[in-house]
Amino acid sequence: MSNWSVKFFVFFELLIFSSFAKCGILDNSIEQFSYKLPSGESICSVPDNLVKEIAGYQDIVNKIIDEITNGKFKGQTWDSLAELTDLFGPRMACSESLEKAIDYAVENMKEVGLENVHTENVSAPFWIRGYESAQLTRPWKKNLRLLGLGSTIGTPRGGIIADVIAVESFGEFEKIPAEQVKGKIVVFVPKWKGYGETVVYRSAAASTAAKKGAVAALVRSITPFSIGSPHTGHQNYEDDVKKIPVAAITVEDAEMILRMYRRGQDVTINLEMTDFNKPNCITRNTIGELQGTVHKNESVVVISGHFDSWDVGVGAMDDGGGAMISWKAVQFLKALNVRPKRTLRVILWTSEEQGMVGAHQYMEDHKSQEDKEFNFFLESDIGTFDPKGLDFSGNSDASCILKEILKLMKPLNATEYKEPTDGGPDIEWWSKRGFPAASLLNKNEHYFWFHHSDGDSMNVWDSKDTLDKCTALWAAISYVIADLSINIPRTLVSNN
Amino acid sequence: MSNWSVKFFVFFELLIFSSFAKCGILDNSIEQFSYKLPSGESICSVPDNLVKEIAGYQDIVNKIIDEITNGKFKGQTWDSLAELTDLFGPRMACSESLEKAIDYAVENMKEVGLENVHTENVSAPFWIRGYESAQLTRPWKKNLRLLGLGSTIGTPRGGIIADVIAVESFGEFEKIPAEQVKGKIVVFVPKWKGYGETVVYRSAAASTAAKKGAVAALVRSITPFSIGSPHTGHQNYEDDVKKIPVAAITVEDAEMILRMYRRGQDVTINLEMTDFNKPNCITRNTIGELQGTVHKNESVVVISGHFDSWDVGVGAMDDGGGAMISWKAVQFLKALNVRPKRTLRVILWTSEEQGMVGAHQYMEDHKSQEDKEFNFFLESDIGTFDPKGLDFSGNSDASCILKEILKLMKPLNATEYKEPTDGGPDIEWWSKRGFPAASLLNKNEHYFWFHHSDGDSMNVWDSKDTLDKCTALWAAISYVIADLSINIPRTLVSNN
């Protein structure tokens, strides 16, 4: 199809849509805001009156942004996050500090006048880091910094002393006969190829090594850059495979050990870990609302981040930042007396780091009424550095509306649209069910430098302004979505 | 003075100088290569024949650079440094690993045919890091990563538990009455303002705190950027002030403690350190030569880096890189059969980290014959990242010749000239005595990210090419200086 015929076609469709468009809640099964060309490409065709309606939010969006980045809320997001992390430290699922922080959040949300503030219980895996020590004993003595991976077991009492096999990839490991692996500690030293591709070494190291009789596995930390810090994270034991201890070591040590091994130096490690798993604990998702002027308990817009963190650093970045901008966005809208038609619901998920446990529980608990209850899901869990726009997951009609809304974010220089989102682990349960969902797109190039390490602190931000900008974008976007005359279109998925 | 009169003046002076110039060793007290204007500004006036002579080295410089960066030596500097650090680990002064590494260097230099390979003894301070542990016990429990500072004493057996006073500056500390400081642990949290300005907090924290009765001092690591790693370094106890334990903690923890303290949170730390000082040990400067075709034991060009390191990381950057490019530059010139008129002497200094101890001993041992023995000193100790040119310290005549030589480094894009050098701690003894001295100018913006931390590893370089380029510059520059028809001019300083 030529360019001209596309243009004509779109023009024609727009005429038809314009005549259908009306103000008020639309029936999404009739209305549509995009058109799929025979080539498969989607063309946006948002009706004029909806385009105008969205553009009409520019003044209120400007006011929200200005108050948060330059007005009375300037600096407050960073200060609140510093207070949270300084008061409670890291917020590991099932820890006392997380539960104290949840109590503090509940109290604080009530104080600032959020509505329907409550928690919802979640049963979560309970893993405790114990004493962890690793020492290179050959070719020379060196304490290796390590962090046991979430769910790892400990070593036998007194630790393990074993020779090392070091490999760069699972492929390389496959070629080594089991009799050579038996009784050894296997060190996996994958090259960084982005998080998604590399993290499989963290998830699968223990069981992969155990299948050939290894006594423990160590993994190069999953990060592109290091200054001598290990990075923890979750790992999974395969069913019916012997559980062996597994930990992350630093990039520097892992690559050195790989060089030593390839050079033919004898490498021996003394590993001692007392990590262990306990029966599930009860933890809580934390919820507060700015209830809608028209709809209170239906077509809710969820704005969220996870409140739990790993037990290293203080979880300021992952995901204190995402949780705090969600909480503050709604708090500031309330303080500005800017209340949308639909309810804005802050959810601070619990036990994300153990496998999106809190979010999954929430989905199970709310699934039966989902058609009525929810409209849109926002999540920030891939950094709160300078905002660029939104990562979106949803159908092409919803996408076209989101693109219109993003035009309002010019004062923040954050109008970028990307899809599909890769930053919404907790809301993925809902996007898989066809709900429109968006994640904060931000300049997070260095996110994995700090991720799951002692570097996850208030120092990841160069300036308080950065968090102000994220909160401003978050508040403005969520307000417009929640106040719009129509629900953002959803794709219906069978409810199983 | 107008621009025109300056130009006329310089032209006239050049005519006079040209008539004086000759090939061969010049008497520096008569000849000069720069002219000082009445304004104090120096203008270069290198005679035409010397300019031509220097330009004549372009072919050999190109060959040296090409062989090291693209030819048979490509990648060898990085590989040799990886081998050194993988075989011996960090090379702390007075440690067995440093002495083993020195033996290895001597053996290796002999094998590749360097001449007059030997070591010269040095008596050096002997400090040993012991068990070190710090735990925040209030407001919540957190293990604080720490590194005792070189020469620190330990705590009493069983450690210290004390309340904390946290300050940002010595000025702020001065205002706190001694009775409030007594019995406390003082945490100094200076903002990073460049190394020179900030490192005074590391050097002076213990004695400053002790004067007011503190029981220990902790210092924010001296770095502009952190991922949860502490940075060690030397510190000095003042005479007649009680010695108290002192350690560096991470930027993240230090800044958190300062916020807690200022917020009014009660902060308590449990500190235990078993560090201790022993009687001096004997260590060694390591020396090898490519002896000159004309002058063997006079007008020597020294090319150097320090071989010792701190006991954290592996000392690949500080100063394994500087030591290795010096060693390899001379080794590769020998292998290329490119032998200059004067002797090139590699010196791998020992015990730099304890206060340039090896370099000072060398100066004392060689001072009496210095006029005859030395011509020029090169040192690399501020990073071996992509080379930019040279940092120079010396008189204006020498400076003018150096600038001419640097023009030859265009193939490396490393023709930058800067003065005075701030990267030559070990050769400073000689530059203070009037000798011309240069340090490797390089793209070391991230040097202090890794400095004296576990991050000081082979991973600081993105590519092996970087070290090749440094070695190439080092070899080419030192060759030209050592082969030139004249000595680089020196300023005479009284021999006391």
What is the β-pairing status of strands A437-442 and A387-393? antiparallel
Interface probe with B: pick from A450, A454, A464, most Cβ of B within 10 Å: A454
- Does B492 map to a domain? no
Q: Which of A315, A304, A284 is nearest to A426 (CA)?
A: A304
- Does B433 map to a domain? yes
Q: Is the pLDDT of residue A5 over 60?
A: no
Inter-chain CB proximity A313 and B252 less than 8 Å? yes
Kindly state whether residues B270 and B284 are assigned to the same domain.
Answer: no
A139, A228, A263 member nearest B454 (Cβ): A228
Kindly state whether residues A121 and A136 are assigned to the same domain.
Answer: no
What are the Cα distances from residue B269, in Å, to A206, B131, B218?
A: 36, 16, 10
Kindly state whether residues B315 and B435 are assigned to the same domain.
Answer: yes
Chain A hits for B265, Cβ within 8 Å? 86-87
Kindly state whether residues A359 and A431 are assigned to the same domain.
Answer: yes
* Burial (Cβ within 10 Å: 0-12, 13-18, ≥19) of residue B298: middle
pLDDT (average), residues A4-11: 39
Kindly state whether residues A424 and A372 are assigned to the same domain.
Answer: yes
What single letter denotes the amino acid at residue A169?
Answer: S
Task: Quote the ipTM score.
Answer: 0.93
The predicted pLDDT at position B40 comes to 84
User: Coil, strand or helix: which one is B27?
Assistant: coil
Kindly state whether residues B70 and B41 are assigned to the same domain.
Answer: no
Q: A70: domain range?
A: 56-125+280-483
**Boundary residue ending a domain (A239, A274, A309):** A274
Confidence class of residue B495 from pLDDT cuts 50, 70 and 90?
low
**Boundary residue ending a domain (B249, B274, B299):** B274
Is residue A165 within 8 A of residue A181, CB to CB? The reply is yes
Kindly state whether residues B212 and B289 are assigned to the same domain.
Answer: no
Confidence class of residue B248 from pLDDT cuts 50, 70 and 90?
very high
% of chain A beyond a pLDDT of 70: 93
Rounded to whole angstroms, the Cα distance separating A473 from A480 reads 11
What single letter denotes the amino acid at residue B243?
Answer: K
Inter-chain CB proximity B459 and A226 less than 8 Å? yes
The predicted pLDDT at position B62 comes to 98
- Count of structural domains, chain A: 3
User: Coil, strand or helix: which one is B365?
Assistant: helix
Chain A hits for B97, Cβ within 8 Å? 140
Q: Is the pLDDT of residue B86 over 90?
A: yes
- Does B490 map to a domain? no
Q: What is the pLDDT of residues B143-176, one digit of tens each?
A: 999 999 999 999 999 999 999 999 999 999 999 9
pLDDT (average), residues A127-152: 98
Is A352 marked active-site? yes
Interface probe with A: pick from B252, B257, B450, B453, most Cβ of A within 10 Å: B252
**Boundary residue ending a domain (B259, B274, B289):** B274
Q: Is the pLDDT of residue A300 over 90?
A: yes
The predicted pLDDT at position A42 comes to 85
The predicted pLDDT at position A496 comes to 52
The predicted pLDDT at position A424 comes to 75
- Does A492 map to a domain? no
**CATH code of the domain in which A433 resides:** 3.40.630.10
- Does B67 map to a domain? yes
Kindly state whether residues A233 and A172 are assigned to the same domain.
Answer: yes
% of chain B beyond a pLDDT of 70: 93
| A182–chain B nearest CA distance, Å | 26
Confidence class of residue A486 from pLDDT cuts 50, 70 and 90?
very high
Chain B hits for A453, Cβ within 8 Å? 227-228
Confidence class of residue A492 from pLDDT cuts 50, 70 and 90?
confident
- In the sheet that holds A146-148, the strands lie side by side as A142-144, A132-138, A268-273, A160-167, A185-188, A216-220, A246-249, A146-148
Q: What is the pLDDT of residues A414-428, one digit of tens each?
A: 999 999 876 578 899
- Does B320 map to a domain? yes
Kindly state whether residues B360 and B479 are assigned to the same domain.
Answer: yes
Is residue A450 within 8 A of residue A320, CB to CB? The reply is no
The predicted pLDDT at position A31 comes to 59
Angle between helix axes B464-483 and B396-406 (nearest 10 degrees) is 130
Inter-chain CB proximity B227 and A87 less than 8 Å? no
pLDDT (average), residues B85-102: 98
Q: What is the pLDDT of residues A319-366, one digit of tens each?
A: 999 999 999 999 999 999 999 999 999 999 999 999 999 999 999 999
Q: Is the pLDDT of residue A277 over 80?
A: yes
- Does A41 map to a domain? yes
Q: Which residue has the higher pLDDT, A136 or A26?
A: A136
Average pLDDT, chain B: 93
Kindly state whether residues B418 and B315 are assigned to the same domain.
Answer: yes
Count Cβ–Cβ pairs < 8 Å, chain A vs chain B: 105
% of chain B beyond a pLDDT of 90: 89
| A451–chain B nearest CA distance, Å | 10
Tell whether the torsion through CA atoms of B202, B138, A248 and A310 is positive or negative: negative
Confidence class of residue B31 from pLDDT cuts 50, 70 and 90?
low
- Does A493 map to a domain? no
Rounded to whole angstroms, the Cα distance separating A152 from A205 reads 11
Kindly state whether residues B322 and B439 are assigned to the same domain.
Answer: yes
What are the Cα distances from residue B319, in Å, to A238, B30, B305, B382?
A: 45, 39, 6, 8
Chain A hits for B86, Cβ within 8 Å? 139, 256, 259-260, 263, 265
Confidence class of residue B429 from pLDDT cuts 50, 70 and 90?
confident
The predicted pLDDT at position A409 comes to 98
Q: Which residues of chain A approach chain B closer than 8 Å at the C-beta?
A: 82-83, 85-89, 97, 139-140, 142, 145, 225-229, 250-252, 255-256, 259-260, 263, 265, 312-314, 449-450, 453-455, 457-459
The predicted pLDDT at position A425 comes to 84
Confidence class of residue B496 from pLDDT cuts 50, 70 and 90?
low
User: Which residues sit opposite B219 in a β-bridge?
Assistant: B188, B248
Tokens 């642990």 found at: B185
Kindly state whether residues A39 and A91 are assigned to the same domain.
Answer: no
DSSP-assigned letters across all residues of B271-332: EEE--EEEEEEEEEEEEEEE--SS-SSSSEEEEEEE--B-SSTT-IIIIIIHHHHHHHHHHH
**CATH code of the domain in which A176 resides:** 3.50.30.30
Rounded to whole angstroms, the Cα distance separating B186 from B201 reads 12
